[in-house]
Amino acid sequence: MQRIILLAAAAIAVSGCATTDTGIPTGVAPAPASRQAVPAVALEGGLVERAGIALSPADRAKALQAEQYALASVPAGETVTWQGRDATGSVTAASPYQVGDQNCRQYTQRVNIDGREYVGRGAACRGEDGLWSLLN
pLDDT at 87: 96
**DSSP character string of 101-131:** TEEEEEEEEEEEETTEEEEEEEEEEE-TTS-
pLDDT at 42: 57
Structural domain of residue 102, as residue ranges?
A: 2-134
Predicted confidence pLDDT, tens digits, the chain (136 residues): 333 332 233 222 222 223 334 444 333 333 333 333 334 445 777 887 777 888 999 999 999 999 999 999 999 999 999 999 999 999 999 999 998 888 999 999 999 999 999 999 999 999 888 888 888 7
Residue 58: what residue type?
A
Split into its structural domains, the chain has a count of 1
